[in-house]
């Protein structure tokens, strides 16, 4: 009997890990890949849908989607940001989608908690490399065992809900505009198991950069309660210099640099 219960638990752990992986891949496809980019499909066709694969995300997922004991991770955070150091990439150029690592801030410097680098508002953040646009939070809360009824179907609906929401978020317009200018690599990602922001990221959720939050509801499974939500910036992306630069026609970029640097043109 105990072996049978453990087998069922392992089975639902597998479903939850697949759901976490699928959500991360779905967000990565929408934010990091241009519509015309041809990539491999998910070979397992998880949750009855094809997803174009971002190879770097696929490399990161196996080490993060499961905890050390083999159970699904308690927290998985997929951060989408705009790179203020990005420039136009020639077609076919190989450019990393990952955010460069920074130093993790204390636990108190998360959403809504200003860190020392945020003092003075946005002016104090001008030297930061990344402006965070979205943060997808996937959580598994351990609780008493839940019934097995319709769990897989509920996870399927959760994945579909995330997919349907992506085009409605403000970041979608920014991603499309960058992709249309051959600057799709201006958007970067970071996959982690912590809500702490890094030293090279803008403070997310401060008065200088307010955010909204949307929750996709909870799914109770034998592996725990699954919670998925997205936090997204409501600031106008055109307020950021990088957006202005990347959305200019390529021929105008040198002129824009000269104006910003105060040189004669």
pLDDT at 114: 42
d(CA 157, CA 150) in angstroms, rounded, equals: 11
**Considering only CA atoms, which of 197, 224, 164, 237 is closest in space to residue 77?**
197
What's residue 262's pLDDT? Answer: 46
Per-block average pLDDT, block size 10, for the chain (265 residues)? 54 91 93 67 64 89 90 94 72 74 57 42 58 94 74 92 93 81 72 90 72 92 92 72 49 45 46
The listed CATH number (3.30.900.10, 2.70.70.10, 3.40.640.10, 3.40.50.720) that belongs to domain 2-239: 3.30.900.10
**pLDDT at residue 20 in the model:** 96
pLDDT on residue 247: 52
- 154's CB contacts (< 8 A; 6+ apart) are 219
CA distance 88 to 252: 12
User: Which pLDDT value is given to residue 203?
Assistant: 74
Pairing mode of beta strands 224-233, 211-221: antiparallel
Domain boundaries, the chain: 2-239
In angstroms, the CA 75 to CA 194 distance is: 7
Q: So what's the pLDDT on residue 121?
A: 40
């Amino acid at each position: 009997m105990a072996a049978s219960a453990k087998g069922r638990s392992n089975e639902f752990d597998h479903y939850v890990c697949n759901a976490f992986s699928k959500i991360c891949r779905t967000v990565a496809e929408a934010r990091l890949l241009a519509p015309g980019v041809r990539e491999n499909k998910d070979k397992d066709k998880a949750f009855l849908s094809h997803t174009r694969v971002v190879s770097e995300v696929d490399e990161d997922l196996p080490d993060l989607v499961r905890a050390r004991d083999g159970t699904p991770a308690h927290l998985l955070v997929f951060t989408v940001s705009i790179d203020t150091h990005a420039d136009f990439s020639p077609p076919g150029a190989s450019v990393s989608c990952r955010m460069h690592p920074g130093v993790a801030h204390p636990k108190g410097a998360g959403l809504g908690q200003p860190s020392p680098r945020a003092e003075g508002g946005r002016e104090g953040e001008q030297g930061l490399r990344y402006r965070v646009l979205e943060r997808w939070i996937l959580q598994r809360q351990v609780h008493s065992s839940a019934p097995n009824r319709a769990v897989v179907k509920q996870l399927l609906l959760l994945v579909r809900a995330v997919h349907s929401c992506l085009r409605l978020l403000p970041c979608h317009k920014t991603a499309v505009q960058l992709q249309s200018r051959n600057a799709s690599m201006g958007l970067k990602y970071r996959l982690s198991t912590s809500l702490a922001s890094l030293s090279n990221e803008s403070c997310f959720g401060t008065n200088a950069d307010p955010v909204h939050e949307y929750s996709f509801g909870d799914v109770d499974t034998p592996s725990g309660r699954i919670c998925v939500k997205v936090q997204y910036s409501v600031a106008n992306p055109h307020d950021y210099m990088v957006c202005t630069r990347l959305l200019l026609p390529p021929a105008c970029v040198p002129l824009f640099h000269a104006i910003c640097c105060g040189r004669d043109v």
